[in-house]
A = this chain, B = another copy of it.
Amino acid sequence: MRKNYKMLLCYDGSRYYGWEHQPDTDTVQGRLEEAFYAVFGEISEINGAGRTDAGVHARGMTANVWLDTEYPTGRIRRLLNENLPDDIAVLEIKPASDKFHARYSAVGKTYCYTCHYGEYRAVFDRKYVYELDRTPDLDAMRKAAAILTGKHDFASFCRQAAGYPSTVRVVDVISVEQADGYITFTVHGTGFMRNMVRILVGTLLEVGFGKIPVSEVEKILYAKNREAAGYTVPAQGLCLMKVDY
């Protein structure tokens, strides 16, 4: 009998064309499907909590899958990990209720975006940070972050806003922390649109570099126009940390 399982995954997105399975491209979901096929001999549909873009990483992607197996979960995890490349790992797999769906049951997500700046580049984590050539003004970024936090129409912070029935989202945390040459943006909200976190961070950085005055930030929200916001920072600094249920 088929049973529903919830999985916690991590992956280095550097060499993948994102999460979502696509024919003839290397994706995280595609690699997971191959691993499930190798272990169970049948095609399993894997529902991810969201579709991370090409090059985006995850330390806490959640997915669910229906399986007809008597294997204990420890064995499933071990067999899957043996069949996955070394840049994807199943951290946890456990039985879930029939109603659980990784995407539709999700009530919140936390992303981190990591920048590095300094007299020299980050060497060992260079694939997981966005290297800055100057130090942004943290106070200005924090002021802007406070303005953007809340329930807003984030149409300006979205690629292809027209594709969404609504562009209103609740972002309850946008924090900016600095330590040892790293600047980490932590963003938590109920849901995010395409490129939304990367455009939020790009806009904050433009504020931090004095290109956008803090007084203009509210106007970007009102504009409901992608052109009004800052640039889209590169994928490699972004990591999906946690999905809430």
Binding site for B on A (CB under 8 A): 10-12, 57, 59, 74, 77-78, 81, 86-91, 119-121, 123-126, 128
Interchain CB contact (< 8 A) of A124 among B12, B74, B81: B12
Residues of B within 8 A of A124 (CB): 10, 12, 57, 59, 125, 128
CB distance from A25 to the nearest CB of B (A): 21
Residues of B within 8 A of A12 (CB): 123-124, 126
Number of copies of this chain that the complex holds: 2
Having A81-B119, A86-B126, one finds 10 other A-B pairs with CB under 8 Å, namely A10-B123, A59-B124, A74-B119, A77-B119, A78-B119, A86-B121, A86-B123, A87-B123, A89-B120, A124-B125
Residues of B within 8 A of A123 (CB): 10-12, 86-89
The CA-CA distance from A10 to B166 in the complex, in Å, is 48
The CA-CA distance from A121 to B11 in the complex, in Å, is 11
28 A/B residue pairs, CB under 8 Å, sorted by A = A10-B123, A10-B124, A11-B123, A12-B123, A12-B124, A12-B126, A57-B124, A59-B124, A74-B119, A77-B119, A77-B120, A78-B119, A81-B119, A81-B120, A81-B121, A86-B121, A86-B123, A86-B126, A87-B123, A87-B126, A88-B123, A89-B120, A89-B121, A89-B123, A90-B120, A91-B120, A124-B125, A124-B128
